[in-house]
């Protein structure tokens, strides 16, 4: 319900701004309502059950957001916090080889 209400308010606001910018000939410039007046008239035009439902849905959403802990804005993983210039983690050795013995690889030349 709140999404539909927000969408309707955004569309109505954009339409009102477009009419203000283009100079509407429907309403004379001195009789144009302000945005607050237009919103109040739109709210009053809603039937009472729709207004109550919108207020209830909005109140529940506000209470839900106030009761929940604020979401963390930190999106970095622990690995992302480790700077690259402070070294890299050691690589896993292939199976069957012991680390650090300097065994030549399959294509290595013998030392002289």
Q: Which two tokens stand for residue 72?
A: 């963390």
Six-digit token pair at 74? 């930190």
The reply to whether 55 falls in a domain is yes
Q: What is the pLDDT of residue 56?
A: 93
In a domain, 16, yes or no: yes
**What gap in Å lies between CA 40 and CA 42, rounded to an integer?**
5
Per-residue confidence (pLDDT) for residue 57, from 0 to 100:
92
Name the range with the highest mean pLDDT among 1-5, 69-73, 90-94, 101-105.
Answer: 1-5
Task: Encode pLDDT of 82-95 as tens digits.
Answer: 666 666 666 776 66
Instruction: Look at residue 101 and tell me whether its pLDDT is greater than 60.
Output: no
Specify the number of domains making up the chain.
Answer: 1
DSSP string over 9-46: HHHHHHHHHHHHHHT-SSS-GGGPPPHHHHHHHHHHHS
**What is the reported pLDDT for 52?**
92
Q: Write out the residue range of the structural domain in which residue 19 sits.
A: 2-67
Tell whether 106 is covered by a domain.
no
Q: Identify whether 108 is part of a domain.
A: no
CA-to-CA distance for 89 and 9, rounded, in angstroms?
Answer: 53
Is pTM beyond 0.85 here?
no
pLDDT per position as a tens digit, 17-75: 887 777 656 666 677 778 888 888 888 888 999 999 999 999 999 888 888 867 677 77
């Amino acid at each position: 319900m709140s999404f539909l209400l927000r969408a309707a308010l955004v569309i109505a606001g954009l339409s009102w701004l477009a009419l203000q910018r283009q100079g509407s000939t429907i309403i004379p410039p001195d009789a144009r309502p302000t945005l607050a007046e237009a919103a109040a008239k739109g709210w009053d035009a809603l039937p009472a059950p729709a207004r109550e439902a919108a207020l209830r849905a909005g109140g529940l959403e506000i209470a839900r957001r106030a009761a929940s802990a604020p979401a963390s804005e930190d999106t970095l993983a622990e690995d992302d916090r480790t700077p690259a210039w402070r070294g890299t983690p050691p690589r896993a050795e292939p199976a069957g080889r012991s680390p650090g013995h300097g065994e030549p690889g399959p294509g290595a030349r013998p030392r002289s």
